[in-house]
Amino acid sequence: MRRRDFISIFAGAIVAWPLAARSQQFERVRHIGVLAPFNGTDPESLANLAAFKRRLSDLGWTEGLNIAVDYHFTSGSIDEIRAAAAALVAAGPDMIFAASNVSVAVLQRATTSTPIVFVQVSDPVGSGFVESLAKPGANMTGFQGYEPAIGGKWLEVLKEVTPRVRHVAVVIQPSVSANVAFLRSAEVAGRSLGVTVIAAPAKDAADIERVLGEFARDGDRGVIITPSPLTNTSEKREFLFALTARLKLPAVYPYRLTPESGGLVSYSYGQVAQWEGAASYVDRVLRGAKPADLPVQAPNKYEFVINLRAARTLGLDIPPALLTRADELID
């Protein structure tokens, strides 16, 4: 072989090798674990998951081709979540995607090394999941749901919709630190609004029914429903709506589907946008980014939804200015 031909072949091999290596690297199947605190049939949750998968596909990740996804759906039971988290970590995935404070709290105890991207996690700093929103500092990052101050905003909205309210129960799951933070901010807001805020701790539906049944004795009462495994599926939201309707308690909810189902009012962020954003973070982690270097993202828009039929049933006359401010009116 002539020297010039050898040099040409060798130079071609140098150019081709990085391309082949990059192709092989991309074609390696990445494994993602998904921990979701819903049963896999809830319509809103499935819509969020579908948006997440579409965004991943847009970014070049296809299940069965270059990613394998291990889904673990739970009913919100802490025991189920612990078992699912242990199974996910034991499988040794490249990363884990998780929804809700409870899921992330369990995963935090299960692993300090597997990269985690979360979504719908309220107050991640106060919950001890990250050092700060700008610099998470550990093996997890993602998209914050509600900040602690939202408790005061929910109380303000309820007071505007129902001016006669003087006592408000805040339904919380005490084991969720963000729920306690919502309660505290509502208590602070209550002092300036002339409202007595009362904690309504509960661990299951029976607890909620008992606590609110005892609370609903006078006509100046209202309820704030906080987000937690107690309220994160359509069945649980419909139970809460039916209960508050039966007790004639005006309530503000953290999910827009509740007023769509007949509840009075919701003040919430858009969940689909968050799940799509989380998919972009999953993409970045799979391509080499470290969660510690990806700032936690917060909602930039909230939706205010009022169900006018529910208002009429409760004998409420919604002020025109409030109707104008609403993002959506349901009748």
- Predicted pLDDT of residue 28: 87
Longest dimension (CA), the chain: 100
Would residue 162 count as lying in a domain? Answer: yes
Would residue 1 count as lying in a domain? Answer: no
Would residue 2 count as lying in a domain? Answer: no
R_g of the chain computed on alpha carbons: 24
Residues 215 and 325 in one domain: yes
| Domain assignment of residue 137, given as a range | 8-144+271-293
Residues 164 and 50 in one domain: no
- Predicted pLDDT of residue 134: 97
Would residue 246 count as lying in a domain? Answer: yes
- Predicted pLDDT of residue 27: 66
Residues 282 and 190 in one domain: no
Residues 12 and 39 in one domain: yes
Residue 221 main-chain phi, psi, to 5 deg: -110, 150
Give me the half-sphere count of Cα atoms (radius 13 Å) on the Cβ side of residue 154: 37
Residues 79 and 220 in one domain: no
- Predicted pLDDT of residue 126: 93
Residues 64 and 181 in one domain: no
- Structural domains in the chain (count): 2
Residues 217 and 319 in one domain: yes
Would residue 124 count as lying in a domain? Answer: yes
Residues 325 and 277 in one domain: no
Residues 221 and 79 in one domain: no
- Predicted pLDDT of residue 44: 78
Residues 113 and 167 in one domain: no
- Predicted pLDDT of residue 15: 42
Q: pTM of the full predicted structure?
A: 0.85
CATH number of the structural domain spanning residue 69:
3.40.50.2300
Residues 185 and 175 in one domain: yes
* pLDDT string in tens for the chain (331-residue length): 444 443 344 344 444 444 334 444 446 899 999 998 877 777 778 889 999 999 999 999 999 999 999 999 887 778 899 999 999 999 999 999 999 999 999 999 999 999 999 999 999 999 999 999 999 999 999 999 999 999 999 999 999 999 999 999 999 999 899 999 999 999 999 999 999 999 999 988 899 999 999 999 877 999 999 998 787 777 788 888 889 989 999 999 998 888 888 899 999 998 899 999 999 999 999 999 999 999 999 998 899 999 999 999 999 999 999 999 999 999 8
Tokens describing residue 82: 């612990």
Residues 197 and 281 in one domain: no
How far apart CA 207 and CA 210 sit, in angstroms, is 5
